[in-house]
């Protein structure tokens, strides 16, 4: 190790009147930027994942919501089945919602009858009906308003991420705090979270929560 350190130091030319600084060698400006670092990471990501993440990071929602959705899209969320596969000793691996099948990421957020009910409520609320994909990434990408602009669809993508976050929070409440399984509660929390983001992040969003609940398309259409 001493020899390696000496070799490393010997490559550096110390200048008396120069300031000692750290530089980002991957960019021409020699300055680190988060956006460029993200671009570098995206280039190393496989093709099918890039499209979903491109929309996710631009979605109109809170950062913690996007982070949870990101973990779900990667299937890195600690469901019971995931924990069991990693060697964690658990009493059971059944879904906390339906208590019928193993709690995988796919089942918990899409296939469970409880989660399906929440997604159906969301689609009816916005007035859009389509055949839902069983694959998580395809489900996210198909969550799209045909007549909506790109910015308006980013709100809709944010709603997808918000529902995923609320499902995960509700699951944890059931597992750790003896919560009661209630799809209405999950959906209403998702509505509130998405409205709060629009209310406090958009200076020209003047709709009340009741407006958002009763006519979401009208509220979304004001987002230019």
Q: Is residue 20 part of a domain?
A: no
Say whether pLDDT at 53 is over 90. Answer: no
Say whether pLDDT at 46 is over 60. Answer: no
Q: What is the mean pLDDT of residues 37-44?
A: 72
Number of domains in the chain: 1
- pLDDT number for residue 202: 78
Q: What is the pTM of this model?
A: 0.78
Q: Is residue 26 part of a domain?
A: no
Q: What is the mean pLDDT of residues 136-156?
A: 89
Q: Is residue 10 part of a domain?
A: no
Q: What is the rounded distance in angstroms from the CA atom of residue 156 to the CA atom of residue 146?
A: 11
CB atoms within 10 A of CB 19: 5
Q: Is residue 62 part of a domain?
A: yes
Asked which of 65-74, 125-134, 201-210, 213-222 is least confident by mean pLDDT, the reply is 125-134
- pLDDT number for residue 50: 61
Q: Is residue 57 part of a domain?
A: yes
Cβ neighbours of residue 116 closer than 8 Å, sequence gap 6 or more: 110, 132
Q: Is residue 216 part of a domain?
A: yes
Structural domain for 193, as ranges: 47-221
Q: Is residue 68 part of a domain?
A: yes
| Residue written as token pair 């159906």 | 120
Cβ neighbours of residue 70 closer than 8 Å, sequence gap 6 or more: 53, 56
Q: What is the mean pLDDT of residues 7-30?
A: 76
């Amino acid at each position: 190790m001493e020899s390696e350190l000496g070799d490393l130091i010997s490559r550096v030319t110390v200048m008396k009147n120069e300031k000692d600084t750290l530089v980002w060698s991957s960019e021409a400006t020699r300055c680190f930027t988060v956006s460029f670092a993200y671009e570098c990471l995206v280039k190393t990501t496989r093709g099918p994942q890039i499209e979903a993440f491109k929309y996710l990071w631009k979605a109109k929602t809170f950062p913690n919501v996007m982070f949870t959705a990101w973990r779900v899209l990667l299937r890195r969320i600690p469901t019971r089945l995931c924990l069991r596969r990693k060697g964690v000793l658990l009493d059971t691996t059944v879904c906390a919602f339906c208590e019928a099948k193993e709690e995988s990421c796919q089942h918990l957020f899409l296939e469970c009858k409880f989660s399906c009910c929440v997604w159906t409520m969301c689609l009816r609320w916005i007035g859009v009906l389509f055949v839902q994909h069983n694959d998580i990434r395809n489900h996210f990408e198909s969550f799209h308003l045909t007549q909506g602009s790109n910015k308006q669809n980013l709100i809709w993508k944010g709603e997808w991420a918000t529902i995923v976050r609320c499902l995960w929070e509700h699951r944890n409440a059931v597992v750790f705090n003896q919560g009661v399984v209630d799809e209405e509660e999950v959906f209403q929390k998702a509505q509130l979270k998405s409205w709060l983001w629009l209310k406090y992040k958009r200076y020209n969003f003047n709709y009340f929560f009741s407006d958002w609940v009763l006519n979401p398309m009208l509220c979304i259409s004001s987002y230019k």
